[in-house]
Structure 1
Amino acid sequence: MLIRRSCKRVSEEKAVYRVQGFSCAGCAKTFERNVQSIHGVEHAEVNFGASKLTVYGKASLQELEKAGSFEKLKIYKEDEEVSEQTIPFWKKHQETIISAIFLFIGWILQDELLSISAFLLSMVIGGYRLFQAGLQNLVRLQFDMKTLMTIAVIGAALIGEWGEGATVVFLFSVSEVLERYSMERARRSIKSLMDVAPKRATIERDGIEMDVHVRDIRVGDLLKVKPGEKIAMDGIIVKGTANVNEATITGESIPVTKTEQDEVFAGTMNEDGYLHIQATKTAEDNTIAKVIQLVEEAQAERAPAQAFIDRFAKYYTPVIMGIAFLVAILPPLLFQADWQTWIYQGLAILVVGCPCALVISTPVAVVTAIGNAARNGVLIKGGIHLEQAGRLKAIAFDKTGTLTKGKPMVTDIDVVDGSEQDVAIMAALEQYSQHPLAKAIVDYAEDLSIPYQSKTVENFSSITGKGITGNIEGETFTIGSPSFVSNFLTKEVEKTVHKRQKEGKTVILLADKKAIRLIVSIQDLPRENSATILQQLHQLGIQHTVMLTGDNRFTANAVGNQMGLTDIQSELLPQDKVVAMKQLQQKHQHVGMVGDGVNDAPALAAATVSFAMGASGTDTAIETADIALMGDDLKKLPFTVRLSRKALRIIKENVTFSIGIKLLALLLVIPGWLTLWIAIFADMGATLLVTLNALRLLKLSSE
């Protein structure tokens, strides 16, 4: 949530802080107002989603923490490394737990005085912050949800409905717990992004080798990266060749061969070479830093819309209060009616106005839907995401690991001057290589029970970024890319190689000293049910399905056309995916995004609602996404859309019914028929009916 006010800035002095302890968006607004009032602060902006504070002007940490003391906020400088303390659940939410205990005791006690005492304790302990904010808002004539809840509880207590008041307080307290939990999960996604790149690096500066923190790396420093180490900074290779796994940036599962003058990115993995890299950026502006910035900005832009009940409460609360007040005083004043009778009628109206059914009409449907989704392998992180999923008009997909399996596999063996038995030779040589393509060939041989282990390999040699050689039974063999064995390429072989490459496959060749023996094609294959899933989405009314991938266009087009996607966009960096997502939103308004990698995090955050592939997805993608498809199963996506749409319908039905029943009860005031029992029946009956209606969501299954 980004809270922004227009302000003419005089000072250019700017400081950014991390904030710990936000529990709700309203608290973020209050904190921002408090910071604005600090002497020396000209402007302040709070990004609730990213839990960040930007201050223009001067303010000390002590002053900032004092501004957030009402919420016990902790303030840290943006670049300060802070280890978060793990607080047990019972301790973090002890007010809610104690409130629930006293609520239960109040319901089971037979003694009226003891029961009321238990309910009162439940209300005070669980609703202290609620009452504090609600009464302050009432004084300021700000009628929001907390004002509505406060008036409802006070009204229930005034006419002796202590149990109902305590129950409402408890339900509201639980909703705050859920909100805090979901926001903490979202914020941890940014921390996991920060952990992608290493914190320290070995550099050479002015001829001296040293170990430094990444914040101290300057443009022009020479980084030395050993095999198996992550690259700490964006730069250009000045010496060395290696296979670099760029999955964190491009999403591509197959490592890319990098040599001198090639660009590399922070957070990517050097698999097998020794590299000297000249830094071209600093920690503040490298690729990973940009990804983090994009995620935070997208979270700010994605501020949840005010729920219908919050907007309605601005009018509902004062209207109910006004009606109750007028009913209580006008008949006695104008018609000399009995004061006690009409005060009773006014209090009965407050009971009718008690928003119990209205308050739970949305949460009960949301909780039921989320519970059903969890049982069916879908993690939905909040009601707003459930509602947004039901409004989707288009869905974008990452390719690798989402529409495909994320694992290179042998798809074709073209025999040139050998036989299929030569696969045993390839597997015997490749078993000594660490390249993912090598593993694909070994796995292929094992799946077909080809006895490659019996072959003895001598003089094995790996030429980084090119291929491997070795002797088997006195004969020398070479395995590598077409460019590595170019001396043996014939027009027929080149024709086959080009054909396979146009199909989106990676080609490697086996050659002896005389000729090419085998052409092996390897591809990250589509998931078996991807095409079927897309058809189901189209049948649900989502006619626009788009692929956003960092892969090359041949591979992307081959996979996309095979599945029946309506649009394919390839060779995209993380920032390109965000631009593409915003263009889709301009065209279709409500657009979902399904991904699994760190490179997908900005696009996931920018989407109307985002989905992460659970088992195969990175922690960052899963934490950044609004909905996680657990068990790595894409078939949960149509189920989620169906469930969300049904939940939306039930929410509308519940809200309409809970408001309608209250209006009907209010009409009974005209003939003076509204009694406390009718008021209680209208409220509790409506509560029961909206709950039963929401339980219909349990019937929906993903099977």
Structure 2
Amino acid sequence: MQRAEFNIMTSELEVVAKGQVSQDAVVKAVEKTGHRVEDGDGAKSAVLHIEGMDCEDEVALVEKKMRSLTGLEAFKVDLISRKLWVSYDPSLLSVQEIIKSVAETGMKARMEREGVKRRAWWKDLQVLALFASGVLTVIAFVLDRRGIGFVSTALYLAAIIVGGFYPARMGLAALRTFTLNIRTLMVTGAIGAIFLGLWEEAALLVFIYSLGDVLEAYAVDHARGALTALVDLVPKEATVRRKGDELTLPVEEIRVGETMVIKPGERIPLDGLVASGSSAVDEASITGESIPVVKEKGAEVFTGTLNQRGVLEVEVTKLSQDTTLARIIHSVEEAQTKKSSYQRFGERFGKIYTPAMFGLALIVMVVPIWFLGGTWSEWFYRGLVVLVVSCSCGIALSIPVSVVAAIGNAARNGILFKGGVHLEGAATIQAVAFDKTGTLTIGRPQVTDVVPVNGHDIGEILQIASGLESRSGHPLGEAIVRKSREEGIAVSPASDFEALIGLGARGIVNGKMCFIGGERLFGERNMPLQSIQAIVWGLESQGKTTVVLGADEETLGVIAIADRLRPEARDVVRKLKQAGIKQVVMLTGDNEGTAQAIAKEAGMDAYFSRLLPEDKVEKIRQLRRGIGRVAMVGDGINDAPAMAVSDLGIAMGAAGTDVALETGDIALMSDDLAKIPVAFDLSKRTVRNIKQNIAISLIVIGFLVPAALIGWVRMVPGLLINEMGGLAVIVNGLRLLRSCRRGRPLRGD
């Protein structure tokens, strides 16, 4: 090996070697450090942060630039996060060329990993330019009133140049690509006012527009704050024990299997399992639940959660880019790109709005003078007013700000919406279907009865059953394995194990082919059930779930298992009905007696028992045909098919399983059912908030444009009203950061 250079900006490793150093050897050496290696010959991806992108018009400008690049295979632009995701062919295009292309729009792009933080206002050149413009305008106004015309005109011009530099740069960049945007309208309005000799109005126009621009940018930053707060939870360094020494290292350098030492008051840097120690950990950043959870040896801990009391030694189970919190952050960022119908409406409106206003202004300047009389300067001025009162990003920002504020605050409280489309969709749900085991019930069932038949004994029944169920991973199976261990029975996993979907399982134990499952499994195999029929009916009448065990062609016995309803389940069902859900039902593969008992206790409108996975899918389809849009609530694993055909899939306990985090349209990070009505309430309030914003925006436009046409409003008051309307809808959207009805405010209030 002669030389190895790593470029942290592009994540590229260049290796120069002589002799017998193979590519595979280099790849294996890198992978031992815990990093993945990708072939440099294929498509590459990067995430760029775009400075100065604060309006949908600028998004359109970046998109137009990206489409002109040869070698760019795919891209996504998000306004709220100010991010550009690109996939490109490195043989035709580089990241530096993409950054240069963005710069041609008047904005700046940089790699996301450089770390981008908003500058303090006294270091922000745009804010300082705004301040200077305001001071120059005031001085010019005073001098103008004292009759010092030449100096005041020069100061007005300086105020226009200083205050309008940033908007003008982007407006002219748009013109170079033959695109009209809101900044183009502002620049045109200012130039027109200067042309008419209205220096004072031109300077005030630039100042008010720039002030509104800065205030809107800061308001949008506040909406981004929910995501920023999640990112800030991730520690940059961790204390790791290596060869007996405790070293403080960047989390990116820590490998799976290493041991971290977490002291009281520190946040946990990476996901892992407690190797030693005991403490209480605040998991509110993941689950939204503020009550600390006791963590002892073997317990799972998550990145960003707070160790409160004792010292913990934690074995790392996931790299920094794969932790639960990293996946939550990624899901929230992805959610911003999955747009609702309202967001798509806003984008379509924005694309039509700016050219339409420009065209209308030109018509006002040219046409009425021929039919209505008046002077050319009078109609030219009215046309300028039409342009100016159209100069606000508030209309375009109002919808995405509402969506991102709601998604961000929900994420901080353990409710993960996978996109604006699902946030909007939850507001129109008419029926909710719940799975039973682990969803409505606590999910930790207990074995209550073991009834042998045909001369077999309890120990034999538990030994065979636990051998089969140790491979299944089903909650009922875990109860059987747990009972066997409590009784001191050794658990020997079955060989040739096979899960029989919706029926049970089979495998070889003690040299015999054994079966475990419900009566349907044994009925399909024509095995005798007469000896256990009365036993099964008796146990099921008590609300218990029964499992039958058999070997070869003989029935061995029956195991009864019971699970408790979650304490909040009945109240959740009641709240859903109060919120306007027409029907709440339970779908389960369990027997009739158990299903009836649980459904009655929970207050369900209906229940359906003995359902296979495909039967649940059909029931969801029936509900959709008979009632309307349906949500399915489950664990995201056993209920994946039913969730897939529902209009809205809600996965429980996503903090503990990657599958649940990926499966649902909404993922609840804890097993708290009370979050479900919170999610529906937040959805309805978000849709209502968006409708309010659209109405406010259209009312402002509907008043100002006709007022400008007939001369009722002048340039500066019109722009002021327009900017106030734009800020009003953004602030209204930000209200979704603050509260969510659950009898108490959401965290972050």
Task: Give the TM-score normalised by structure 2.
Answer: 0.51
On the 8 A contact 1:468/1:480 being kept in 2, the answer is no
Specify the alignment match of 1:536 in structure 2: 575
Tell me how far apart the structure 2 counterparts of residues 332 and 174 of structure 1 sit (CA, whole Å).
Answer: 45
Specify the alignment match of 1:358 in structure 2: 395
**Aligned pairs for 1:96-115 within 5 A:** 101-108=124-131, 112=136
The Cα shift of 1:492 comes to 7.6
**Aligned pairs for 1:279-678 within 5 A:** 304-305=340-341, 307-330=344-367, 335-337=373-375, 339=377, 341-374=378-411, 376-411=413-448, 435=470, 440=479, 494-500=533-539, 505-507=545-547, 520-547=559-586, 551=589, 557-558=595-596, 561-562=599-600, 563=602, 564-566=604-606, 568=608, 570-572=611-613, 585=624, 590-598=629-637, 600=639, 604=643, 607-615=646-654, 618-669=657-708, 671-678=710-717
1:160 aligns with 2:183: no
AA aligned to 1:389 is A
Q: 1:505 to 1:153 in 2, by over 3 A?
A: farther
The Cα shift of 1:587 comes to 5.4
Specify the alignment match of 1:268 in structure 2: none
On the 8 A contact 1:553/1:571 being kept in 2, the answer is no
AA aligned to 2:659 is T
On the 8 A contact 2:216/2:727 being kept in 1, the answer is no
The Cα shift of 1:322 comes to 2.8
Q: Deviation string for 1:426-462 (max 9, x for gaps)?
A: 999999998376863686799xxxxx78x8x7x9977
Q: Secondary structure at the match of 1:620?
A: helix
Q: Deviation string for 1:487-542 (max 9, x for gaps)?
A: xx9978652234436856144799xxxxx9x9652245443333432232222222
Tell me how far apart the structure 1 counterparts of residues 583 and 47 of structure 2 sit (CA, whole Å).
Answer: 37
AA aligned to 2:373 is F
Q: 1:27 to 1:400 in 2, by over 3 A?
A: farther
Specify the alignment match of 1:682 in structure 2: 721
AA aligned to 2:535 is T
Q: 1:547 to 1:481 in 2, by over 3 A?
A: closer
Tell me how far apart the structure 2 counterparts of residues 26 and 580 of structure 1 sit (CA, whole Å).
Answer: 44
The Cα shift of 1:102 comes to 3.7
Tell me how far apart the structure 1 counterparts of residues 175 and 576 of structure 2 sit (CA, whole Å).
Answer: 48
Q: 1:367 to 1:303 in 2, by over 3 A?
A: closer
Q: Secondary structure at the match of 2:673?
A: coil
Q: Secondary structure at the match of 2:442?
A: strand
Tell me how far apart the structure 1 counterparts of residues 701 and 345 of structure 2 sit (CA, whole Å).
Answer: 17
Q: Deviation string for 1:257-304 (max 9, x for gaps)?
A: xxxxxxxxxxxxxxxxxxxxxxxxxxxxxxxxxxxxxxxxxx9xx985
AA aligned to 1:163 is S
On the 8 A contact 1:152/1:165 being kept in 2, the answer is no
AA aligned to 1:653 is Q
Q: Secondary structure at the match of 1:319?
A: helix
AA aligned to 1:390 is A
Q: 1:661 to 1:386 in 2, by over 3 A?
A: same
Answer with 638-647 or 89-98: which moved more: 89-98
The Cα shift of 1:679 comes to 0.9
Tell me how far apart the structure 2 counterparts of residues 28 and 70 of structure 1 sit (CA, whole Å).
Answer: 10
Tell me how far apart the structure 1 counterparts of residues 44 and 380 of structure 2 sit (CA, whole Å).
Answer: 48
On the 8 A contact 1:348/1:679 being kept in 2, the answer is yes
Tell me how far apart the structure 2 counterparts of residues 166 and 406 of structure 1 sit (CA, whole Å).
Answer: 52
Tell me how far apart the structure 2 counterparts of residues 337 and 577 of structure 1 sit (CA, whole Å).
Answer: 74
On the 8 A contact 2:635/2:652 being kept in 1, the answer is yes
Tell me how far apart the structure 2 counterparts of residues 482 and 330 of structure 1 sit (CA, whole Å).
Answer: 82
On the 8 A contact 2:403/2:420 being kept in 1, the answer is yes
Q: 1:120 to 1:179 in 2, by over 3 A?
A: farther
Answer with 437-446 or 649-658: which moved more: 437-446
Q: Secondary structure at the match of 1:632?
A: coil
AA aligned to 2:346 is I
AA aligned to 1:409 is Q
The Cα shift of 1:411 comes to 4.5
Tell me how far apart the structure 1 counterparts of residues 647 and 492 of structure 2 sit (CA, whole Å).
Answer: 51
The Cα shift of 1:616 comes to 5.7
The Cα shift of 1:635 comes to 1.1
The Cα shift of 1:384 comes to 3.2
The Cα shift of 1:90 comes to 5.6
The Cα shift of 1:173 comes to 8.9
Tell me how far apart the structure 2 counterparts of residues 390 and 383 of structure 1 sit (CA, whole Å).
Answer: 11
On the 8 A contact 1:377/1:629 being kept in 2, the answer is yes
Tell me how far apart the structure 2 counterparts of residues 390 and 561 of structure 1 sit (CA, whole Å).
Answer: 25
Q: 1:349 to 1:385 in 2, by over 3 A?
A: same
Q: 1:636 to 1:672 in 2, by over 3 A?
A: same
Q: Secondary structure at the match of 2:651?
A: strand
Q: 1:553 to 1:387 in 2, by over 3 A?
A: same
Q: Secondary structure at the match of 2:389?
A: helix
The Cα shift of 1:352 comes to 1.5
On the 8 A contact 1:665/1:674 being kept in 2, the answer is yes
AA aligned to 1:648 is V
Q: Deviation string for 1:627-686 (max 9, x for gaps)?
A: 322332111111221222122222212211221123222333355231223213311332
1:91 aligns with 2:126: no
The Cα shift of 1:691 comes to 4.3
Unaligned runs of 5+ in 1: 1-16, 39-43, 54-59, 74-86, 140-146, 182-298, 447-451, 470-478, 484-488, 511-515
Q: Deviation string for 1:41-99 (max 9, x for gaps)?
A: xxx999999x999xxxxxx9679979x986999xxxxxxxxxxxxx9746376899999
| Identical counterparts, % of pairs | 29
Task: Give the TM-score normalised by structure 1.
Answer: 0.53
AA aligned to 2:674 is K
AA aligned to 1:160 is V
Q: 1:348 to 1:607 in 2, by over 3 A?
A: farther
On the 8 A contact 2:469/2:481 being kept in 1, the answer is no
Tell me how far apart the structure 2 counterparts of residues 530 and 342 of structure 1 sit (CA, whole Å).
Answer: 67
Tell me how far apart the structure 1 counterparts of residues 182 and 404 of structure 2 sit (CA, whole Å).
Answer: 20
Tell me how far apart the structure 2 counterparts of residues 568 and 138 of structure 1 sit (CA, whole Å).
Answer: 61
Q: Secondary structure at the match of 1:593?
A: strand
AA aligned to 1:353 is S
On the 8 A contact 1:105/1:118 being kept in 2, the answer is no
Q: Deviation string for 1:467-502 (max 9, x for gaps)?
A: 999xxxxxxxxx99999xxxxx99786522344368
On the 8 A contact 1:600/1:621 being kept in 2, the answer is no
Q: 1:655 to 1:304 in 2, by over 3 A?
A: closer
